Chain A
Amino acid sequence: MTKSPNIAENIEAQKPRRFTLFTSLWISLLILAGLLVLTESLSRIASIQNRLAMRSVGNYHAQFEIKWFKLQDYVLENDGVDVILLGNSMVNTGIDPEVFAEEYQQVTGADLRVFNFGVEGLTVAPNSSLVQLLVETYQPKTLIYFTEMRDYVAMNGLKEEETFLSNDWLMYRLGKQNIKGWFIDRSTAIQMLLPFRGWTRSDFLDNYVLNLRRVKITQPNGYEPETRTRQDIDVRPDPSSPADKPFFELFQNFTIDPQRVSDLHTILSKQEFQTNVFVSEIPVYFTFYDYFGGETVHQDYLKEISKIVIDYGGFFVPPVDPDLIPLDGRADRLHLNIQGADIFSKLLAGKFSSMCLQEHKCLDFPLR
C-alpha cells in the first residue's frame, strides 16, 4: 500500500529540516545587523555617553581626538565658539581660555567663548588642515595661531604629519570621500567603540588609562593644566649629550622651509571666510634657542615670520616678553605650567584688548 501524495507531503513537511551553514550565515548577518542598530541606538543615550567618556574618530593622535570632542561639547554647551587658540603642546598647557576671556572682557567688555585647541606635536603643516576643519565646522570669529621656529624646519614632525593626516575620517572631513570616514563621521557607536580599537596591543591598557586621565584633566574649554615646575630650564643644552644631540642636528643651520610657509599661508587664507587669523608665539625660555644658534637667530626668525604674515595680509602679534613669566611658571624650557599659563593668559589678553581698543582689531567681529 502506498501513501497518498497529500500524506507523503505532510510527512515531508513535518520532518525536521536540516539547516545548512548558509542558513546560519544569513541568520548571523541579520543578528549582526540588529546588534549594530541596537548599539547605535544605545550609544546615543546621554547616560551611556557620559559613562563612556572617551570617543574617537580613529586618529592616532589621542589628544587631537580629546580636543575635537571637547570642542564639540563646548559648542553644544555654549551655542558656538568665538576664538580658537591653535598650536602645539605649548598652547595646550600655556593658555587658560577662561582667564584669557575674563581678562579680555574686563578691558573691552566683550564676552568671548574661547577654546584651546593646542595639540602636542602638530607643526604648521597638519595645523593648516586642522584649521580648514575647524573653520568649516564651527566658523569661529577668530583663530589665534601660535607658531614657533620648529614649525619651519623641513624635516621636523614629518611622521606625525603623515600619520595624522592619513586618518580616514579626517580625509573625509577635508573633502576626500571614503566610506570608512563617512561611517565614522555618522555613527556615534563607532566613535564610542574606536577608543578600544587598540585592545590587541600590548600597551593598550596603559595608553587607555592615560588617555582617560587626560580626558578628565582637560577642561571643557580645551585647556590641559600642567602642574610640574622647572625642569632643566637653567641647564643649557649640551651638543655632546646624547639627549640633546639630535635636536642640535635637526635645528642647527635654521632656515624657514618654503613649504611650511605655504602651510602658514593656508592658515592665513581662512580670513577670506570671515574668520580673523592672528599669528603669535608662546614665550619660551631663552636656553631653548641654543639649539638654533642663540637668541639672535630667534630674533631674525621673528622678523622674517612677521613679514611673511603681514605680507600675506595677516595680523602678527609680537610675543609677550619671556622675562615676564617667572621660572616657577615654567614646566620646562618650552612649556608653561598652571601658574605660568595664568600669567601668560592675562598678558596675552591684555595685548589683544589693547589692540582692540587702540587699533580696532577685536577678536569678536570680522576685520575684513
Chain B
Amino acid sequence: MTISSFLFFVLAILAAYVYRVLPKKLRNYWLLILSAGFIATWSYEFLLVLVVFALINYSIGIKAETAVHPRKWVITGIAFNIFFLLLFKYQKFYLPGLESLLLKNGWMSAGGALSFLVPVGLSFLVVQVISYLIDISNQRLKAERDLIKFGVYVLYFPKLLSGPIERARLFLPRLDAPILFDRVLAQRSLSLILTGLFRKMVFADPLFGMIPENAFITPQNYAGQHLFFWLLAYALALFNDFAGYTSIVRGVSLWFGIELANNFNLPYLSRNFTEFWNRWHISLSTWLRDYIFFPLSRSLMRHYTERNNFWNLVVPPVVTLLVSGLWHGLSWGLVAWGGLHGLYLIFERFSGLFRPFVPFEEQPRWQQNLGIALTFTLTTLAWIPFRMDIPVALSYLTGLFKWVKPDYFLFRRYVMGDTEFLSWSPLNLPNPFLLLVLSAAIGYDILVNHKGSEKELRSFQQVIQIVFLVVLFSFALFSIFADATTPFVYQGF
C-alpha cells in the first residue's frame, strides 16, 4: 500500500480513531498491529523477516546493557545489521557468483536463479537500530525491555518505508506520552499532509514523468539543452518527492500523537555545502554526523591535535559522505556522488581557513545568492553519478555541453501556420510544460522561504492558502482520471 493512496488515508484515519478510543496501555499494541498489517500489505515474507530482525536487535540491545562484555554485543549487533543489509540489499553483487558456484557443483539446475525480495525500508531500519545499540553502549539510552514498544520503534508504519530515521532516545519516550490531538495539532497535521501531497502531485510526479526513460540510459542520443533541463527536473523531482513523502508521514504520525523528525528544510536554498547537509535528508545527515563524522573527528584529533591539520580536515567529511553514498546502494556512481560531496566540503573547509568567518545573515545579499547558485549547481551535477553508472554519467556530463541549435525557423513557420505542425521534437526546444513546472517548483521554494526555514501552509495568507488548495485539488482530481501517479523514489533505498 502506498502512502499517497486514498485507501491509506482512509485506513489511517480509522486506525487513528481506534487509537484515540483505546485505553492507554493498549495503544502500543495497536500501533504494532497496524505496522505489521501495513508491512503485510507489501508482503507476508517481509513481515516475517522484519519481525525476526526486530527480535534479534531487541535481544542484542538487552545483552549490550547487561552482559559482562557489553561492547562485544554492540559490535556483534552492528556486524549483524550490516550483514543483514548486505545480504538483502546488495544481493546482486554476490548472487551471480554464488549461482555459478552452485551450478558448478551441481547444486542448482541450469536456468535457475537465486534472489531475495528486499524488505521495505531496510536501509532505514538498519541505521536506526545501529544508533540504538551505540546509544546503549555509550550509556545515553537504556535498553528497551518492553518488546511491544521496541517493536513499534522499529516497525512504526509511518516511518517504515523511507524514514525519517528516528533515534530511540527521542522516539521511545513519545510512545509513553503522545501529544494531545486537538484543533491546533489537527491543523498542523493537515498542513503537513497537504504540503506533502502538493510537492508530490504538483511537482515531483510531473517532473519525473517528463524525463524520458532513456535520458539516463543513452544520454548521447539527446541534445545538451534537453539534458540540462532534465537534470534540473531530476534534482527538483527527487527533492519534492522525498520532502513530500516526509511531510505526509509526519502529518499522519501526528494523528497518533507522535512527532517525527523533519527531513528537509529547503535544501536547494543552502548557501554552502555545510548548510546543505543541515537541510537535506536531515535525519540521515545528523545520524552520519553523530555516529561517523564526530567519532572519526574525535579519534583523529587524538592523533593530530592541531584542528586545522590536513587529515582532520579531509578524512571525516570524505569518509562520512562515502558511507552516505554506500548507504544508498553499492555502486560506483553512488560512491562518486558521496565522494563529490566530500570534495565539496573539503574545499569549503580549506577555503574557510583563508578568510574570516562571517555569518550568512551578515553577508551581502549578492554573496548569499551566489552561494545558493553555486551550491545548487554543484549539487545538481552530483546527482548525475547518483542516478547513473559512471560511464553513462560521464556521457551525460559531456552531453550537457553539446547544445544543438533549436530550429526557430521551423517554429516560426508552425506559429505562423505556414507549415503543418507535425512534431515537437525536431524543434529541439525544451518541453514548455517542463519549464512551467520547473519554474513553479523553484518559485514555490522561494515563496515558502521565511528567514531560511520553510513556512508552513497554515501560516500562509488565506488567499495563497486557497490558491494552493485549489491547485492541489485540481491536480488530485485530474490524476484520478489520468492515472499518472508514480511511486516514491526513496522507497527504493
Contact = CB atoms under 8 A, between A and B. Distances in A.
Interface string B210-230: 111101000000000000000
B423 A28 contact: no
B181 to A, nearest CB: 15
Interface stretch (A118-126, A150-158, A196-204): A196-204
B211 A202 contact: yes
Interface in B262-307: none
A22 B466 contact: no
Nearest to A204: B433
Contacts of A193: 478, 481
Interface residues of A, number: 34
Contact of A24 (B421, B422, B466): B466
A325 interface: no
B422 A209 contact: yes
A254 B190 CA distance: 61
Interface in A17-37: 19-25, 27-29, 31-32, 35
B469 A24 contact: yes
Interface residues of B, number: 38
Interface in B459-482: 462, 465-466, 469-470, 473-474, 477-478, 480-482
A65 B211 CA distance: 26
B425 interface: yes
B468 to A, nearest CB: 8
B187 interface: yes
Given A28-B473, A202-B211, A204-B433, A209 B421 contact: yes
Contacts of A206: 423-425
Given A202-B431, A210-B423, A22 B190 contact: yes
A19 B466 CA distance: 12
B209 A200 contact: yes
Contacts of A197: 478, 481-484
B420 interface: yes
Interface string A183-194: 110000010011
Candidate in A58, A200, A203 with the most chain B CB atoms within 10 angstroms: A200
A204 to B, nearest CB: 7
Contacts of A28: 465-466, 469-470, 473
Contacts of A245: none
Contact of B462 (A24, A199, A202, A209): A24
A360 interface: no
Contact of A209 (B187, B191, B215, B424): B424
A117 B482 CA distance: 25
Contacts of A176: none
A53 interface: no
Prevailing SS type, chain B contact patch:
helix
A180 B457 contact: no
Nearest to B467: A28
B431 A205 contact: yes
B211 A21 contact: no
A212 B431 CA distance: 18
B241 interface: no
B191 to A, nearest CB: 6
A91 to B, nearest CB: 25
A200 B470 contact: no
A29 B472 CA distance: 11
A213 interface: yes
B144 interface: no
A173 B425 CA distance: 37
A180 B481 contact: yes
B458 interface: yes
A24 B191 CA distance: 11
B431 A21 contact: no
Given A19-B462, A23-B462, A25-B190, A200 B205 contact: yes
Given A28-B473, A35-B470, A194-B481, 11 more contacts: A28-B466, A28-B470, A31-B470, A183-B481, A200-B205, A202-B210, A202-B215, A205-B425, A209-B421, A210-B423, A213-B422
Q: Ordered nearest first, which 9 A-B pairs have the shortest CB separation? A: A200-B209, A28-B469, A197-B482, A205-B424, A202-B212, A24-B465, A200-B206, A21-B458, A28-B466
28 contacts: A20-B183, A21-B457, A25-B190, A28-B466, A29-B469, A31-B466, A32-B470, A32-B473, A32-B477, A35-B470, A58-B481, A190-B481, A193-B478, A193-B481, A194-B481, A197-B482, A198-B482, A199-B206, A199-B433, A200-B206, A200-B210, A202-B210, A203-B212, A204-B210, A204-B431, A205-B424, A205-B431, A206-B423
Interface of A: 19-25, 27-29, 31-32, 35, 58, 180, 183-184, 190, 193-194, 197-206, 209-210, 212-213
Interface of B: 183, 187, 190-191, 194, 205-206, 209-213, 215, 420-425, 431-433, 457-458, 462, 465-466, 469-470, 473-474, 477-478, 480-484
